[in-house]
Amino acid sequence: MEMGRRDFLSFIMMAGATAAANNRVLAAVTGQSHAGSMAMFAAPPLRELRVAFVGLGKRGPGAVHRFSAFPGVKITHLCDLYKNRAERQNAWLVKNKRPAAKIHFGAEGWKQMLEADDIDLVYNVTPWYLHTPIAVAAMKHGKHVAVEVPAALTIEECWQLVDTSEETGRHCMMLENCCYGEVEMLALRMAREGMFGEIVHGEGAYIHDLRAENYADLNKGGYYDYWRLKHNTAHTGNPYPTHGLGPICQVMDINRGDVMEYLVSVSSRQAGMSEYAAAKFPGSWKAKLAPALGDMNTTVIGTAKGRSIMIQHDVTSPRPYSRINLISGTRGILADYPLRMAFDPGRRGGHSHWLNDKELKKIAAEKRHPLWKSAGEIAKKIGGHGGMDFLMDLRLCYCLQNGLALDQNVYDAAAWSSLCELTEKSARHRGATQDIPDFTRGAWKTTPPLGIVDVDLGKMGLDGGSVKKDGAQLSV
């Protein structure tokens, strides 16, 4: 691959003999050099986007089906620990008149897959402990990476992602689908238009009863080798912070004008998982486990500009699902589950009140995010957590095909994922304050905020066309 002018300038500006030596090694593997900030990085456009999927258990198949709907996207490789899973998705592609992909399987299958030269993007939907190893290896092999949440489990892994992305000039986007939720994108637009005034506080969460999935066998909807149960047995804090955190960070311009500086985290005692296991599996090894994960973890974060963020995690109690989605400013507030809004009464005086249903629906319709206006209806038909998975993948493909900076970069992946280790450290030490690394190395001070993004469906070949899901024709 010929080195572009931007990459060349970044290369000659590298400081230090060690960095230069490392970059030469990477250049030999990837065919290019970069060694620069990824804050607003835009790779050359990939009109034909060749995608490989690794991990075809719970979420992988849905991603394969979504990507098969996008013109200009070719699924070239399918990889899973189990051969039959890859074969099943390949059969689906052929049935829906898509080219067959190359199959890889086994514990080392992904390593073999990364040697292929017909891959532009690796879509990593594996268990948590494989997210960083596969992502790092893929970038070193010259591939862009989209990796499921959390992108990393430790601070060391966060830095591995950042360093490798910067050195190789390859995108590393965490697949934080909640940033594309309809309410989250509504809140972002309203915040950008100043409707909440100055944003001072946000609250998010992942409250989702996962006891059944944690303890279920693989053939009954559980996780491979009980990997999530094993993680919850060994770790506390907040192991899954990004669904609630990501959208708030975008509203607050984290890594793009502000930065998270420190946190404190407290976990409740563990009771829900043990009680569940004792009742469902009396006398078994499952009932004898003593999970470290507290039933409720609450984390409070402080930013450089004095904002506060509260993030909660609870997957072990019978609470209804919630991500909270609360944005609070000097002129108004938005809260979700259910959706509510209130605004400063201003000159009228008195106290603020939640808008009535009619007022709420009017604002939600008027301020619907342009991306949801453009592709929201087709997103709901195709599916994926109510359509937000589709919109996430649509924007990812659109940016890569048109040479645009991604909505989420490697610094977001690292910063949001860093809570996995830092909340555990804090929780295990009576809520001791933990500093959050600046993974942007100061670039947050000059990086512009995320704008109100959209897609040109015509550019993607979707305008007035159609897409398929499970063989059914759907109009755009």
| Percentage of the chain lying above the pLDDT 90 cut | 86
Which is it for strands 297-303 and 308-314: parallel, antiparallel or unpaired? antiparallel
pLDDT computed for residue 460 by the predictor: 86
Confidence of residue 12 (pLDDT cuts 50, 70, 90): very low
Mean pLDDT of 239-250: 98
Render pLDDT for 400-416 as a digit per residue (tens, 0 to 9): 999 999 999 999 999 99
Residue 309 token pair: 């963020």
Q: Does the structure show a pLDDT above 70 at 26?
A: no
CB contact at 8 A, 67 and 393: yes
pLDDT computed for residue 27 by the predictor: 39
Q: Does the structure show a pLDDT above 70 at 24?
A: no
Which is it for strands 466-469 and 297-303: parallel, antiparallel or unpaired? unpaired
pLDDT computed for residue 28 by the predictor: 36
Confidence of residue 13 (pLDDT cuts 50, 70, 90): very low
Q: For the whole prediction, is pTM greater than 0.85? A: yes
SS3 of 209, please?
coil
Residue 6: Cβ within 10 Å count: 14
Q: Does the structure show a pLDDT above 50 at 473?
A: no
Mean pLDDT of 353-359: 97
In terms of residues, how long is the chain?
476
Render pLDDT for 360-382 as a digit per residue (tens, 0 to 9): 999 999 999 999 999 999 999 88
- Neighbour-count burial for 352-386, b at 16+ CB within 10 Å, e otherwise: eeebeeeeeeebbeebebebbebbbebbbebebbe
Q: Which CATH code is given to the segment(s) 178-373+402-445?
A: 3.30.360.10
The CA distance from 135 to 128, in Å, is 11
CB contact at 8 A, 126 and 59: no
Any alpha helices (H) in 116-180, and if so which ranges? 128-140, 155-168
pLDDT computed for residue 459 by the predictor: 86
Mean pLDDT of 25-49: 74
Which is it for strands 73-80 and 340-343: parallel, antiparallel or unpaired? unpaired
Residue 411: Cβ within 10 Å count: 28
pLDDT computed for residue 348 by the predictor: 63
| Angle, CA of 67, 69 and 75, to the nearest 5° | 45
What does the DSSP 8-state code read for residue 226?
Answer: G
The CA distance from 367 to 196, in Å, is 13
Residue 139 token pair: 């970038």
Residue 100 token pair: 């067959």
Confidence of residue 351 (pLDDT cuts 50, 70, 90): confident
What does the DSSP 8-state code read for residue 349?
Answer: -
Mean pLDDT of 226-231: 98
Confidence of residue 421 (pLDDT cuts 50, 70, 90): very high
The CA distance from 314 to 298, in Å, is 9
Residue 102: Cβ within 10 Å count: 17
pLDDT computed for residue 382 by the predictor: 87
Q: Does the structure show a pLDDT above 90 at 429?
A: yes
Per-domain boundaries in the chain: 1-36, 40-176, 178-373+402-445
Q: Which residues, in sequence order, are bridge partners of residue 74?
A: 50
Which is it for strands 102-105 and 73-80: parallel, antiparallel or unpaired? parallel
Q: Which CATH code is given to the segment(s) 40-176?
A: 3.40.50.720
Cβ neighbours for 349, distance < 8 A, ≥ 6 positions apart: none
Q: Helix 128-140 vs helix 155-168: angle between axes, to the nearest 10 degrees?
A: 20
SS3 of 54, please?
strand
Render pLDDT for 130-186 as a digit per residue (tens, 0 to 9): 999 999 999 999 999 999 999 999 999 999 999 999 999 999 999 999 999 999 999
| Angle, CA of 424, 410 and 124, to the nearest 5° | 85
